[in-house]
Amino acid sequence: MAENSTMVTEFVLMGFQLQPEWQMGLFFVFLIVYLVTIVGNLGMILLVQSDTYLQTPMYFFLSHLSFLDICYSSVIIPQLLETLGADKTVITFECCATQFFFFTLYASTECFLLAVMAYDRYVAVCNPLLYTTAMTPEIRLRLVAGAYAGAMVNSVIRTGCTFSLSFCNSNYVDFFFCDLPPLLRLACSNTKPREQVIYLLAFTVITTSISVILVSYLFIIRAILRIRTAGGKAKTFSTCASHMTAVALFFGTLIFMYLKGDMGTSLGEDKIVSVFYTVIIPMLNPMVYSLRNKEVKGALEKVFKKMKISQEE
């Protein structure tokens, strides 16, 4: 780290390198997206906390997912807005490493939390009589803490491997935040050993999470097929539909970005994919859970009715 600091003390984030009018247009688009993301996810957290009907393990995990999406987007979007507003942004070596660390932490935690939520749905559907004893408040906290702990290990190792490289070719980062692919292109030391460790970590986090999700849903699907009534099948499936949508959106982009095997060789393509999973998905998650979940819709209707009554009084 000390060697790096003497060679490169700051990076220049180049952003999207568009025409000024396009830059300002994108600035306002991403600003609106960020505000919607914060309001939507914060609203979901407050809704879960205020409605006694939503005081269940599933919504406990959902409120943590919303918290992660707020943190996740807040690590990236303010930097993105600054880069769009100034065309390019100078960021210190330490700030770049810090952004990289927290981005990895929140992204990894979301991977593990989505796996925890799939396990929660498995217990609820396949072992409903044991659900309350299997998902006690203490166990819920342990599962969430385990997600953060696993993500912390991944983040520390990944950040250490990346920022122990020697950056002496250039300090111009052809990206809108400090991400792995563009940083690898700036390294003048051999990146292969560290890249293999980083690749292995990404593979482990993603495949472990997806394995838990797939196994959980295989058992859930089997349980749904055993239900005799069509209404019962639809009701059970609807409780899992929102989570399945969130999983498909998040892991689909992560797999494309980090397991495609050519990190840093197509940064234009990487920018588009990165915008989707760092900016769009955190905004979409509360919408997905609101529009495809009857219980959340019911809680929202209660809030709107109370607001209407209070205004009439």
Could you give the count of Cα atoms lying within 13 Å of 114 in the half-sphere of its Cβ? 27
107: domain CATH number is 1.20.1070.10
φ/ψ of 19, rounded to 5, equals -65, 150
pLDDT at res. 273: 81
**Residue 72: partners with Cβ closer than 8 Å, 6 or more residues away:** 103, 106, 107, 110, 278, 282
The one-letter code for the residue type at 194 is: R
- pLDDT, residue 287, reads 83
Taking the alpha carbons at both ends of the chain, their separation in whole angstroms is 63
Nearest to 293 by CA among 245, 216, 241, 224: 241
- For residue 276, what is the DSSP state? I
For 39-97, give the secondary structure using H, E and C. HHHHHHHHHHHHCHHHCCHHHHHHHHHHHHHHHHHHHHHHHHHHHHHHCCEEEEHHHHH
The pLDDT score that the predictor gives to residue 5 is 41
Of 96, 84, 101, give the one whose Cα is nearest residue 11: 96
pLDDT at 307: 63
DSSP label at residue 10 = E
3 state DSSP class of 11? strand
What is the reported pLDDT for 310?
62
Question: To 5 degrees, how large is the angle CA 70–CA 100–CA 270?
Answer: 85
Nearest 5°: phi and psi at 11?
A: -120, 155
pLDDT at res. 37? 95
Q: Which ranges of the chain have pLDDT less than 50?
A: 1-6, 264
As a whole number of angstroms, the distance between CA 179 and CA 195 comes to: 13
- Report the run of H or E that residue 127 belongs to, with start and end: none
Specify which residues 89 forms β-bridges with.
Answer: 13
- DSSP letter string, 211-234: HHHHHHHHHHHHHHHH--SHHHHH
pLDDT at 145: 97
Domain that holds residue 189: 2-312
Determine the pLDDT at residue 35: 96
Q: Looking at residue 258, what is its pLDDT?
A: 62
Return the closest-CA partner of residue 5 out of 232, 222, 201, 171: 171
Domain count, the chain: 1
Tokens 């999983």 map to which residue? 247
